[in-house]
Copies of this chain bind each other. A is one copy, B any other.
Amino acid sequence: MPSEFSLIDKYFNLYKTKAYKGIGDDAALLKKNNNYLWAISTDMLNEKTHFLPNTNPFNLGWKALAVNISDIYAMGGIPKFALLAIALPKLREDWIKEFSKGLFSCAKKYKVELIGGDTSKGPLSISICLLGEVLKNSTLLRSKAKREDDIWVTGELGLAALGLAKLKNKIQLPESLSRKAISRLEKPMLHSSIVQKMAKLSHSAIDISDGLIADLTHILEASKVGACISLQDIPMDPWMKKNKLFDMALSGGDDYQLIFTAPRRNRNKINMISKLPSVKLAKIGVIKKEKHLNIIDDKGSQYKIKKKGYDHFETK
């Protein structure tokens, strides 16, 4: 069965466009003026695929917008205007009130304005289209990673997957970690404070929605390069590391952390950024010429994971 990605290429990425950048990155790009581009993304959340039934509506409103903001950040952009299309199975005013509160809470935090939308009846589905602006010279494309670029990631990886495992009763967790992991899954926090700085220092970026390996692979394929990353440098919650949940950190989706690739000459500047309070930035590896992704464990051996990333249409 073809994957989601081959499907898009085969049936939807068919024609050249007058847009600055069409299908194939976190957002499309249109000319705004001489210095700026519009970055435009759309992401849809569907019940049972992207969130469990009975997910807290406040968190769902937050997340529906946050995942789109994450796409704009991954282009090096500043989110600005959102349109919301939502299908609801029935009108439950209390649910909508909480959903709206969560959505506007996220909008306020990341300075986004809701300017339009569409509500209709149907199985719960939320689709947001977000416009942001991005400095033309600091636009981060998946295709611009260069050999010997350092690979940086924000935050801790695998927590959203851990939260999902907990919600599905597949794992026992300490209470505080359980709360943290579920919160990362349901209400992802984004790295607004460093995006603009990193955009000026980086060659390429992507947000981690499908998992570190899967999303890093998108950069590698688009840039026609490979990479070597070090397992022990992957930023993980200490409990996860102690329990060796490396595969979850490498392939767990829904983290909405960011991957940047930046030239080595900017390493000191980026290290300075990483020391700012509330910022977590870790250097996990290097871009290589050879078109292969190597993961090296703490003994210097090649590490193999079982599952590379998340594809909605995969046979489960």
Contacts and interface: CB of A to CB of B under 8 A. Distances in A.
B44 A114 contact: no
Interface in A258-316: 312-313
Interface string A106-119: 00000001111111
Interface residues of A, number: 62
Given A12-B100, A129-B83, A44 B121 contact: no
Q: How many copies does the complex hold?
A: 2
A44 B129 contact: no
A85 interface: yes
A23 interface: yes
Contact of A44 (B41, B87, B90, B103): B87
A193 B215 CA distance: 44
With a 10 A CB-CB cut-off, give which of A49, A114, A115 has the most chain B CB atoms.
A115
Contact of A7 (B30, B44, B83, B119): B119
Contacts of A83: 28, 40-42, 129
A71 to B, nearest CB: 9
With a 10 A CB-CB cut-off, give which of A47, A99, A114, A129 has the most chain B CB atoms.
A129
A19 B81 CA distance: 8
B43 A85 contact: yes
B113 A17 contact: yes
Nearest to A23: B116
B81 A43 contact: no
A115 B40 contact: yes
Given A40-B115, A125-B44, A125-B87, A312 B120 contact: yes
A12 B84 contact: yes
Given A41-B116, A44-B127, A116-B22, A121 B28 contact: no
A131 interface: yes
Given A44-B87, A121-B313, 12 more contacts: A12-B119, A14-B100, A23-B117, A40-B83, A42-B83, A44-B125, A44-B127, A46-B120, A46-B123, A119-B312, A122-B125, A123-B123
Across the A-B interface, give the 8 residue pairs with the lowest CB-CB distance, nearest first.
Answer: A46-B122, A129-B129, A127-B127, A28-B116, A28-B115, A11-B100, A121-B312, A123-B123
27 contacts: A7-B93, A7-B96, A7-B119, A12-B117, A15-B113, A17-B113, A17-B114, A19-B115, A22-B113, A23-B117, A27-B116, A28-B81, A28-B115, A30-B115, A40-B83, A42-B84, A42-B85, A42-B118, A44-B87, A46-B87, A46-B120, A50-B122, A83-B129, A85-B129, A91-B313, A122-B123, A127-B127
